[in-house]
Chain A
């Protein structure tokens, strides 16, 4: 038992230390007012502009690249490499992820004949969002602030999740939105699919209810993207604000309250919110796609 606890203690210590680091950067620039929203601004690193399209590479893009690389690595290492009949710990972890994706996400939402086609999409959504959410809580040297160490200008360690930018979550939600209607039309044919949007009510009610149904489809897009975005944004903002309170009110004594509170929120986010939000996004995607395939249910 003691041996098991040691890595946890080391991780907690390291996380607490690293969380305090970006805060120290604020302490140096005392004239600057603390503003947690600065962490969520995305100045371009490499400017790429295609007409009106701004495709500059910034912090969020770097996090997304890193997230994709880690997701692919997890998939390869845990689920593809050297699989055996008596599983090692590594393989068991991979099988657990696969099991959650299959029983909790795909089978809950998708009809059984569509699982083969749409399971890969839902499972990759689950793993990808989980990884980029989790990367957002590891202090990584990808921040826009700089500090000097032995003559070198290095980026400070900072926490930032790509999913706390609405562009990222909206892109993910748009993918689900497009796939939902694409699959609905492909599976049912356009006439039967759009007919399913018309509810069975007296004819006089139809002009009222059909626009509501169409609005509901668009609201799904908004709620799917804003849920993930707002959760991650609020989580990061809470942690930053608690640490920032020490500098705003300029009292070291406040650290006695603020640091444990920030740590508690950090743990809550890492243990519960990160996994739940990834699960919710994947499960709702599966439910939406499933309901488009079998609109009568």
Chain B
């Protein structure tokens, strides 16, 4: 079965959401900017229905959720632990502060897709892993 057939539902949903979809060397690449987290979750749910264990090695889906702006407040979305705030963008960087789960902190700038520069209301400033920050 071709990738186009196997992932038809995912391709249709991604295209409808304005994603860029293309196939190269038997891998389906889906990428683009989503206006909200629900769009990304929906695409991952469809992908998970087609390949529940994600074993196919035939999809790379990089959807960037763009619903947070520099200067706005973001919510700490860890499972239960505190979120580390680091001196630089990387887990090899020293921890300079912590933010509690569900705490609202200020997004100063998006350094890259993985690391954002943030400040807590207590004045601790540094880099936090973007996956744990929501609008």
Q: Does B associate with A?
A: no
Q: Name B's A-contacting residues (CB within 8 A).
A: none
